[in-house]
């Protein structure tokens, strides 16, 4: 597969940017120093060093987010957590803390139902189902100690076979976290609190976090109640063996305000869709998860990790009700996953071998309903999927400054849909086996101790989810093709001193991917609120991801100015499509910029503005329905001290009404169709939040 003439232009643009970035010894962006002491400090340093080592051995875009940064601002959703990670387009929509995530153009159908395109993991074990769906994957960002975001093919380090990459959330333990309490509250009836208790007794340790969130919402019919328990306990079996057990429980009930047409949005962007209140549209999920992970330090140069996870989700989801059609989804999704990971340093070679295996079952049905009360069973659902990813990599330090990274991934998986229409007994049973071999070749050049250049060429691959097979536009037993392509990437990361007391850090990645058979979804006009999936022949995903930050000392060094700027440029298009030519793909804006400029004093006080600049987007494949961009201004301030912290944050201070998230249709060029398209979801109006954290 040849790169088009636009590829050299993007490469030149990337190389014209400053060389270096934030991914070496100081992580994905500078965060305030860890304040835990003694053994906890040693454990934090060891974990962070290992994550940075993996980051520095990856010839592509990887970012490290540390939880110590998140309690300085209001963080509710994954979108809040990933705010400054370049290349990640996140948008909140009709749910309380649900987040639409697109990484390097993944999931551009924007149906936000299965949320495919990026693999979510906790401590290296899957949260994403075996078929690749992230439906109802509630991850509390404040319950993680770190998050490693490996974009696109760079997620081969975790064995992920997705277009968008992977996010690995690292749990806190009693050895890395103190007893603490956290409380935040603010606009729209938001109250969020958590209490963490941790204890260490010799070779045993245990940690439990209990959290609760209540939310009235800034739109009609948007109330949410969520509670959760996150716990883990560890046993240091010997100097070389550690076993850790994890338990998670989340109960989340939320109302859905739905999407609005343009006229409804202009009239009142914060109203609920008129059908959602009498239909009582809800998304109620109860989930529990157990996992176990054992790590053996076989020698000073080799390490083995074996783990498993088991998760069960119960979903009650009335979503569509009109005179012609109603839909309530009531099912259970069960997922089993396991991982094996072995790494060994042998001379100049840093070897990594691993496998991920998962199985998912979805049992239940689609029902009619009246006002959210379940009625007759219309479709019986019994779907299943499995997926095996086997990967091997060699990071070969072939010279003082050069590291050659090469490897491959083998993927095989099955998808089976078994849907029976109760009224007629008709059965749909599309099923298929998906297999691929995905090589990767990259190189890293170490410019200095804390800066490097990198490049890679890799194959991308992602099989469809069972939800996409269910919603195949052909409505037969035919199956969708997998998405696959070739991506090339160049970039740089590092940190540099500015004089004796200042420094700056930056990260730049430029990528260009040609993709075949991308799966896109369009709204089903016969049943609004549901979608249909189809393959399109050729698309292009290209872009520039950059993060720049600095810490400038003023005067005697007691005062500092710390700017941070995340910039993403996207070029996502059809490629000579028979219907859509070279039109832009919908949902993701051509560019978006997020930043802040913080003043910090040595006594812990901080204050400064935040800002968002987002370009226009399209809502249809015809590029006839344009959604305006927006600019947001915020302000946050607070004090961080050893053992306690407070913050105050204002968002959207100009109170701009803007579209945060949207749904997609294939053609809205007809004025009547465009006027009636309820596809727009408003972003947050002017809001103020305050929070406090203290150790005890």
Query: Once rounded to an integer, what is the mean pLDDT over residues 637-654?
Result: 97
Q: Residues of the chain with pLDDT > 90: what percent? A: 81
pLDDT in tens, 450-482: 899 999 999 999 999 999 999 999 999 999 999
Q: What is the DSSP letter of 172?
A: P
* Nearest CA-CA partner of 463 in 478, 447, 480: 480
- Please give the structure tokens belonging to residue 300: 């000073």
Position 398 confidence tier, pLDDT thresholds 50, 70, 90:
very high
Measured in whole angstroms, the distance separating CA 133 from the mean position of its chain's CA atoms is: 12
pLDDT in tens, 237-295: 999 999 999 999 999 999 999 999 999 999 999 999 999 999 999 999 999 999 999 99
pLDDT at position 21? 35
* Distance (Å, whole) CA 245 – CA 119: 22
* Residue 65, beta-bridge partner list: 147
pLDDT at position 3? 41
pLDDT in tens, 669-687: 989 889 989 999 999 999 9
- Assess if residue 680 is contained within a domain: yes
Tell me if residue 157 falls in helix, strand or coil. Answer: helix
pLDDT at position 35? 39
Position 112 confidence tier, pLDDT thresholds 50, 70, 90:
low
Distances (CA, A) of 260 to 97, 266, 273, 322, 682: 19, 9, 6, 16, 9
Which has more confidence, 109 or 50? Answer: 50
- Of 27-31, 513-517, 614-618, where does mean pLDDT reach its minimum? 27-31
39: phi then psi, degrees, rounded to nearest 5: -60, -40
* Distance (Å, whole) CA 281 – CA 255: 6
Position 40 confidence tier, pLDDT thresholds 50, 70, 90:
low
- Assess if residue 1 is contained within a domain: no
pLDDT at position 17? 41
* Domains: count for the chain: 1
Q: What is the DSSP letter of 189?
A: T
- Assess if residue 55 is contained within a domain: yes
Query: Once rounded to an integer, what is the mean pLDDT over residues 616-631?
Result: 96
Distances (CA, A) of 201 to 196, 233, 294: 17, 11, 19
pLDDT at position 490? 98
- Please give the structure tokens belonging to residue 424: 């007629």
Position 97 confidence tier, pLDDT thresholds 50, 70, 90:
confident
pLDDT in tens, 171-207: 999 999 999 999 999 999 999 999 999 999 999 999 9
* Nearest CA-CA partner of 113 in 684, 526, 664: 664
CA-CA-CA-CA torsion for 511, 512, 513, 518, nearest 10 degrees? 90
Cβ within 8 Å of residue 552, ≥6 positions away: 498, 502, 560, 561, 562
pLDDT in tens, 73-86: 999 999 999 999 99
* Distance (Å, whole) CA 83 – CA 209: 24
pTM over 0.75: yes
* Nearest CA-CA partner of 677 in 617, 626, 630, 629: 626
Which CATH number covers residue 266?
A: 2.40.170.20
* Distance (Å, whole) CA 322 – CA 677: 15
- Assess if residue 246 is contained within a domain: yes
Residues 566/172, Cβ–Cβ less than 8 Å:
no
Position 15 confidence tier, pLDDT thresholds 50, 70, 90:
very low
- Assess if residue 138 is contained within a domain: yes
pLDDT at position 389? 98
- Assess if residue 472 is contained within a domain: yes
Domain that holds residue 225: 6-695
* Distance (Å, whole) CA 169 – CA 310: 17
* Nearest CA-CA partner of 214 in 166, 266, 269, 252: 252
pLDDT at position 1? 35
Residues 81/92, Cβ–Cβ less than 8 Å:
no
pLDDT in tens, 348-368: 999 999 999 999 999 999 999
* Nearest CA-CA partner of 506 in 494, 515, 518: 494
Bridge-based pairing of strands 687-695 and 680-682 is: unpaired
- Assess if residue 155 is contained within a domain: yes
């Amino acid at each position: 597969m040849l790169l088009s003439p636009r590829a050299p232009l993007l490469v030149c643009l990337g190389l014209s940017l400053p060389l270096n970035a934030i991914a070496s010894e100081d992580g994905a962006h500078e965060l305030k120093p860890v304040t835990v002491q003694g053994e906890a400090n040693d454990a934090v340093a060891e974990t962070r060093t290992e994550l940075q080592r993996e980051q520095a051995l990856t010839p592509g875009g990887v970012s490290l987010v540390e939880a110590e940064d998140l309690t300085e601002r209001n963080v509710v959703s994954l979108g809040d957590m990933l705010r400054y990670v370049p290349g990640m387009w996140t948008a909140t929509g009709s749910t309380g803390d649900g987040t639409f995530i697109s990484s390097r153009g993944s999931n551009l159908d924007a149906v936000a139902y299965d949320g495919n395109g990026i693999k979510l993991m906790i401590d290296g074990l899957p949260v994403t189902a075996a078929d690749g769906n992230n439906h109802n994957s509630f991850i509390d960002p404040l319950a993680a100690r770190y998050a490693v975001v490996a974009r696109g093919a760079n997620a081969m380090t975790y064995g992920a076979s997705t277009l968008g990459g992977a996010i690995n959330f690292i749990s806190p333990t009693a050895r890395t976290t103190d007893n603490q309490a956290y409380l935040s509250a603010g606009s729209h009836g938001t109250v969020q609190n958590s209490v963490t208790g941790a204890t260490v007794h010799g070779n045993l340790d245990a940690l439990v976090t209990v959290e609760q969130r209540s939310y009235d919402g800034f739109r009609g019919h948007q109330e949410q109640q969520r509670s959760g328990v996150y716990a883990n306990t560890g046993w240091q079996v010997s100097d070389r063996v550690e076993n850790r057990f994890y338990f998670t429980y989340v109960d989340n009930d939320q109302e859905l305000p739905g999407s609005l047409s343009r006229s409804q949005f202009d009239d009142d962007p914060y109203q609920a869709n008129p059908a959602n209140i009498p239909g009582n549209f809800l998304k109620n999920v109860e989930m529990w998860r157990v996992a176990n992970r054992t790590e053996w330090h076989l020698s000073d140069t080799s390490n083995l990790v074996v783990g498993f996870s088991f998760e069960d989700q119960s979903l009650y989801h009335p979503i569509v009700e009109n005179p012609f059609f109603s839909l309530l989804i009531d099912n259970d999704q069960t997922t089993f996953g396991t991982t094996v990971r072995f790494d060994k340093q042998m001379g100049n070679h840093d070897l990594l071998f691993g496998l991920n295996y998962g199985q998912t079952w979805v049992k239940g049905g689609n029902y009619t309903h009246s006002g959210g009360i379940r009625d007759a069973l219309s479709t019986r659902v019994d779907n299943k999927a499995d997926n095996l990813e086997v990967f091997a990599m060699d990071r070969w330090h072939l010279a003082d400054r050069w590291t050659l990274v090469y490897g491959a991934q083998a993927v095989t998986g099955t998808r089976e849909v078994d849907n029976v229409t109760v009224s007629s007994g008709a059965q749909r049973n599309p099923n298929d086996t998906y297999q691929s071999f995905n090589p990767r070749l990259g190189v890293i050049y170490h410019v200095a101790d804390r800066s490097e250049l990198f490049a890679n060429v890799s194959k991308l691959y992602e099989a469809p989810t069972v939800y996409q097979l269910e919603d195949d536009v052909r409505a037969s037993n035919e199956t969708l093709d997998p998405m696959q392509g070739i991506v090339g990437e160049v970039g740089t990361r590092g940190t540099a001193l500015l004089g004796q007391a200042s420094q700056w850090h930056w990260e730049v990645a430029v990528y260009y991917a040609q993709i075949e058979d991308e799966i896109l979804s369009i709204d089903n006009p016969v049943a609004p609120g549901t979608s249909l999936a189809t393959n399109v022949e050729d698309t292009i995903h290209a872009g520039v991801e950059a993060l720049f930050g600095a810490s400038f000392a003023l005067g005697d060094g007691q005062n500092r100015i710390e700017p941070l700027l995340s910039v993403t440029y996207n070029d996502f298009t059809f490629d000579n499509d028979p219907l859509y030519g070279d039109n832009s793909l919908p949902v993701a804006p051509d560019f978006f910029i997020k930043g802040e400029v913080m003043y910090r004093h040595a006594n812990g006080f901080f204050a400064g503005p935040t800002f968002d600049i987002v370009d226009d987007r399209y809502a249809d494949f015809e590029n006839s329905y344009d959604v305006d961009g927006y600019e947001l201004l915020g302000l946050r301030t607070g004090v961080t001290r050893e053992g306690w912290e407070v913050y105050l944050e204002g968002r959207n201070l100009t109170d701009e009404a803007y579209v945060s998230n949207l749904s997609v249709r294939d053609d809205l060029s007809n004025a009547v169709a465009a006027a009636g398209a309820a596809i727009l979801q408003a972003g947050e109006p002017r809001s103020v939040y305050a929070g406090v954290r203290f150790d005890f």
